[in-house]
Amino acid sequence: MYYIGIDLGGTNVAAGLVNEGGKLLGKASVPCPRGAGAIADAIADAARLAAKKAGREVSEARSVGLASPGSIDPERGVVLHAFNLGLDNVPLADMVTQRLGLPTVLENDANAAALGEFVAGAGMGHRSLVAVTLGTGVGSGAVLDGKLYTGFNYAGMESGHMVIHRGGRACTCGRKGCWEAYASATGLIRSAREAMETHPDSALWKLAPTLEDVDGKTSFDAAQGGDAVAQAVLDEYVEDLCCGLANLINVLQPEVLCVGGGVSRQGEALLGPVRAVLDREEFTRDSTRRTKVCTAQLGNDAGIVGAALVPVYR
Amino acid sequence: MYYIGIDLGGTNVAAGLVNEGGKLLGKASVPCPRGAGAIADAIADAARLAAKKAGREVSEARSVGLASPGSIDPERGVVLHAFNLGLDNVPLADMVTQRLGLPTVLENDANAAALGEFVAGAGMGHRSLVAVTLGTGVGSGAVLDGKLYTGFNYAGMESGHMVIHRGGRACTCGRKGCWEAYASATGLIRSAREAMETHPDSALWKLAPTLEDVDGKTSFDAAQGGDAVAQAVLDEYVEDLCCGLANLINVLQPEVLCVGGGVSRQGEALLGPVRAVLDREEFTRDSTRRTKVCTAQLGNDAGIVGAALVPVYR
């Protein structure tokens, strides 16, 4: 059985042909154009290319799954608002069905990525997984008892907008002190910049001559070089990250919690300290059966694989 | 079909005979003795009394559900630690089966209460519900997609131990800044006492001549009488309460979120301000389909009803 998965991004439309076990048999990527019709055309092109790379035809697939950023209405297959894509109230699922002749479902991109990790990545062989992605924001998705969990109106798992510092940093969502404002790459960059402004002697300035040069790696590199200011930034970052992770574990107790996104590429340099803090913070820290915390395994393919399998796991 | 539900408390053992729709046909309560054997005897006595009040025999029931405080192992039916009951590693489910001749399951009391509200209270007619109980601590349980949700090792939904003020008040769980440390009745009482110490002129002192006299009602009563200090305590309390409620809504998006426990008896005096803050804080505050926030409806019966139906909804 074959399924097509599409990961819609502001820059590229990535497509893959996937089997029921989440194996990616062929993938392709085309630039994402502007305009709803052009985007639907690009999705169809990418899908055909991915099928061809797998030595198959699009018509051999059972369905198409679309992972979209922004806010969506999965029941009607409509992208409500996707700023990055310039889409506003677009019935994208129907438009793709018209072009490919296959039933098409729409899902939030963080949910799709979680499903991909569940089926073919960090969650393989388990019954539940929460996937957290540290990027511009903090995205998250969950598979609970073997099913994609989205909340009753498909807007759940907005864990990035869980407040951990009430009254703290202003968040894009309108709340103050959201986890995302601290634990995203953006949050880490902001913390590094704040530290640089109060510490003109920090080695952070050598790696980033201006504040605009700071990225998600800068603090890790400076700390590895022995800079105490960068280390303090990272220590606080890990505390904030773990605060939200421990909150999720205490509430959801998934078998696996995987962390993805740019920051997670630090691997054990990040996960080592994270596990040490969780050993102190988790409610069931003394239990023999604890949530396994690890890095995401599929990288950018998680969205394609998960999108393809949404019709199976929704 | 009849089911027996038991709500184990430090003071009383409450029992009920319940039908499959969660209707309480008869209930009884006996004092909770000390000692594992005596407690199992008391459970059996209470169950027989409850059945009798319903005009039935215990043998007509399909099963017994036990709601226990403390930490439990539902798979083995063992109460691991329940300080209030003086139980430590006790195979209570088997002990009850020996006495009543019925299959017996064990569940956490907050989970049982959530199930009771789902089937026969605030969640009737809905697919998902989160129940939050504001008492000595903050208890919570969830029914998601029609099934009791407990996490992979039955220790999930410890929402009270979700940090909302990182680095804040020390919590009994070892973390700092847990929701429970602010939003429980205990947290409210602590805040009132702190305000009294810095405001010797507050009317709080008229209602509570000493700090020991403060209870969960004191701030509400003083605020209603026009005391600005009490009002400020309550305003902060509502902000803290809503911070955690909005976190839960943003993560879980249940159809219904009900609030129970002593503090919730304030009804609209509490829920009015709560809804106003949630209108500002929820991620989907502009959506037409939002989580319904209301008070719990079954009061102390929620535990009995939910415990009885655990075998049906687990």
Strands A129-134 and B71-73: unpaired
Phi-psi region of B40 (alpha: psi -120 to 50; beta: other; left: phi over 0): alpha
- Print the domain residue range for B219: 126-295
CATH number at residue A309: 3.30.420.40
At A2-45, the pLDDT tens digits run 999 999 998 999 999 999 999 999 999 999 999 999 999 999 99
- Asked if B153's CB is within 8 angstroms of A253's CB, the reply is yes
Distance CA A159, CA B162 (A): 12
Calculate ∠ Cα A224-A225-A228, nearest 5°.
85
On the question of pLDDT at B288 being above 90, the answer is: no
**pLDDT attached to residue B308:** 98
- Are A75 and A154 contacting, i.e. CB atoms less than 8 angstroms apart? yes
**pLDDT attached to residue B284:** 86
SS (H, E, C) B195-229: HHHHCCCCCHHHHCCCHHHCCCCHHHHHHHCCCHH
- Asked if A128's CB is within 8 angstroms of B152's CB, the reply is yes
Both structure tokens of B113: 């209460």
Partner residue opposite A155 with nearest CB, options B145, B155, B253: B253
Interface of A with B (CB under 8 A): 127-128, 144-145, 147, 149-153, 155-159, 161-166, 173-175, 239-240, 243, 246-248, 250-255, 280-281, 283-284, 287, 289-291
**A255: closest CA of chain B, how far (Å):** 6
A206 and A80 assigned to the same domain = no
* E strands in A104-260: 104-108, 129-134, 138-144, 147-149, 256-260
A113 and A22 assigned to the same domain = yes
- Asked if B255's CB is within 8 angstroms of A158's CB, the reply is no
- Asked if B127's CB is within 8 angstroms of A153's CB, the reply is no
At A104-143, the pLDDT tens digits run 999 999 999 999 999 999 999 999 999 999 998 999 999 9
Partner residue opposite A251 with nearest CB, options B147, B153, B162: B162
Between the alpha carbon of residue A122 and those of residues A139, A258, B79, the distances in Å are: 16, 7, 33
Between the alpha carbon of residue B164 and those of residues A197, A243, B182, B311, the distances in Å are: 28, 9, 9, 34
Contacts of A268 (CB under 8 A, 6+ apart): none
At B162, is the pLDDT very low, low, confident or very high (cuts 50, 70, 90)?
A: very high
**pLDDT attached to residue B153:** 84
- The 3-state DSSP class for residue A139 equals strand
B161 and B254 assigned to the same domain = yes
**A48: closest CA of chain B, how far (Å):** 36
Residue with tokens 């960090």: A122
- B125 compared with B70, residue with greater pLDDT: B125
A227 and A209 assigned to the same domain = yes
- Are A160 and A139 contacting, i.e. CB atoms less than 8 angstroms apart? yes
A101 and A131 assigned to the same domain = no
For chain B, counts of helices (H) and of strands (E):
10, 13
B97 and B175 assigned to the same domain = no
Partner residue opposite A247 with nearest CB, options B162, B252, B287: B162
On the question of pLDDT at B155 being above 90, the answer is: no
Burial of B18 (0-12, 13-18, 19+ CB in 10 A): buried
**B178: closest CA of chain A, how far (Å):** 9
Please report the ipTM that was assigned to this predicted complex.
0.94
- Asked if B291's CB is within 8 angstroms of A128's CB, the reply is no
A170 and A282 assigned to the same domain = yes
**pLDDT attached to residue A188:** 97
- Are A26 and A54 contacting, i.e. CB atoms less than 8 angstroms apart? yes
What number is the average pLDDT over the span A74-79? Answer: 96
- Residue B248: name the closest of B117, B122, B131, B145 by CA: B131
Between the alpha carbon of residue B239 and those of residues B118, B127, B217, the distances in Å are: 26, 28, 17
State the CB neighbour count (10 A cutoff) for residue A231. Answer: 16
Partner residue opposite A252 with nearest CB, options B156, B166, B250: B156
Q: Which helix (H) or strand (E) holds A4?
A: strand A2-8
Mean pLDDT over each residue of chain A, to the nearest integer: 96
What number is the average pLDDT over the span A290-306? Answer: 96
Contacts of B60 (CB under 8 A, 6+ apart): B2, B51
At B207-255, the pLDDT tens digits run 999 999 999 999 999 999 999 999 999 999 999 999 999 999 999 999 9
- Residue B166: name the closest of B175, B156, B154 by CA: B175
**B164: closest CA of chain A, how far (Å):** 4
- Residue A259: name the closest of A108, A134, A119, A146 by CA: A134
B251 and B148 assigned to the same domain = yes
- Residue A215: name the closest of A242, A191, A232 by CA: A191
By C-alpha distance, the chain B residue nearest A147 is B145
- Asked if A162's CB is within 8 angstroms of B247's CB, the reply is yes
Both structure tokens of A131: 């996937």
Q: What is the pTM of this model?
A: 0.95
- Are B251 and B287 contacting, i.e. CB atoms less than 8 angstroms apart? no
Chain A residues inside the 8 Å CB shell of B165: 165-166
B270 and B135 assigned to the same domain = yes
A168 and A284 assigned to the same domain = yes
- Asked if B158's CB is within 8 angstroms of A251's CB, the reply is yes
Distance CA B38, CA B27 (A): 20
Distance CA B46, CA B56 (A): 13
Partner residue opposite A153 with nearest CB, options B152, B173, B289: B289
At B14-59, the pLDDT tens digits run 999 999 999 999 999 999 999 999 999 999 999 999 999 999 999 9
Distance CA A281, CA A269 (A): 19
B160 and B60 assigned to the same domain = no
DSSP state of B124: T
- Asked if B151's CB is within 8 angstroms of A287's CB, the reply is no
B16 and B153 assigned to the same domain = no
The number of domains in chain A is 2
What number is the average pLDDT over the span A158-166? Answer: 97
